[in-house]
Amino acid sequence: HGLVAAVLQAYNGHQHLCFSPDDIWLTIAQGVNSHINLYSDKYKNKFVKFNENQKIVLNDDNSLKRDWSKCIKDLVKETSNYIEKIDLKSLLECDFSTSTSTTITASRVILLDSIKKYFSYNIEMFCGIPKITLEGKLEDWLLIQEKLIQLRNLNLDLDFWLNDLDSIIRQFIETFKGNVDEQFWKNIAREEYGCGGPPELNGWITKFFPYDCEG
C-alpha cells in the first residue's frame, strides 16, 4: 500500500514524512470500500432498491484524446442517480483544500469500486479517423487504376486480389472528386477479439495484402 510504503521509507531512511488530508482519507475510503464489497449483499438495501445489477453505459466518442478523469466523473454522476439513501459521492470524494484532480479522481475510483457489485460499468469508446487527406492529383489516382488493369493483363492469376483492389481504388478516386462514402472509410480497419487469442485485424485495409504471414 502506498501510504505504508511511504511511512516505511521515511522511517528506515530517516526522511521527512508529509501527510495530506487526501492521503489519509483515501486510505480510509479504501477501508470502507473493502468492507462494503466483503458484505455487499448485507448492505445492498442501504444503497439501492433494485435487485439485478444496474448497467451504466457511457458513450465516449473522443478518438483524439480520451479524458479518463471525465469518464470517471461521468460514471460517478450516473451511479449517484441510483443511490437513493446515502450520499456516498459527497462522503467518499476528496474535497479538501489540498485536493487535486488526481486525488479527486482516485476517490471517485474508490467510490465506483465500492458499489461495483450493484452496477455494471461500460464505457463505449468509438475509434475512428477524424480526417483523411488524399495527396497528389486526380490523374495520379486514375493512373493507379490503369496500372491495376495492366497487372490483370499479365495473366498472373491475381484476379482474386485485384478484384478487391479495383473497388477500393474506385472509392479513392470518388473521394478525391469530393464524393465521399463515409461508411467506406469507417470500415477501413477494426480489431476483433476472440476468446483467448490475439485480436484479428479486419477491414478493407487488409485487402492490400494478398497473403498473410502464413501465406
pLDDT at residue 194 in the model: 58
pLDDT digit string, tens, across residues 99-140? 999 999 999 999 888 888 888 887 766 667 778 999 999 999
Label residue 213 by pLDDT band (50, 70, 90). Answer: confident
What is the arithmetic mean of pLDDT over 22-30? 92
DSSP symbols for the chain: -HHHHHHHHHHHHT------HHHHHHHHHHHHHHHHHHTHHHHHHHH---SSPEEEEEEE---S---HHHHHHHHHHHHHTT--S--HHHHHS--STT--HHHHHHHHHHHHHHTTTTEEEEEEE----S-----S-HHHHHHHHHHHHHHHHTTSS-HHHHHHHHHHHHHHHHHHHT---HHHHHTS-EEE--SSS--EEESGGGGG-SS-TT-
pTM: 0.59
CA 184 to mean position of chain CA atoms: 23
- pLDDT for residue 215 is more than 90: no
Alpha-carbon gap, residue 207 to 168, rounded angstroms: 9
Q: Which of 112, 106, 105 is nearest to 2 (CA)?
A: 106
pLDDT digit string, tens, across residues 57-90? 877 665 546 678 888 888 888 888 888 767 778 8
pLDDT digit string, tens, across residues 142-190? 999 999 999 999 999 999 999 999 999 999 999 999 999 999 998 898 7
pLDDT at residue 126 in the model: 63
pLDDT at residue 48 in the model: 83
pLDDT at residue 115 in the model: 86
- Phi, psi values for residue 115, rounded to 5°: -115, 20
Alpha-carbon gap, residue 161 to 172, rounded angstroms: 17
- pLDDT for residue 5 is more than 70: yes
pLDDT digit string, tens, across residues 195-209? 556 777 889 999 999
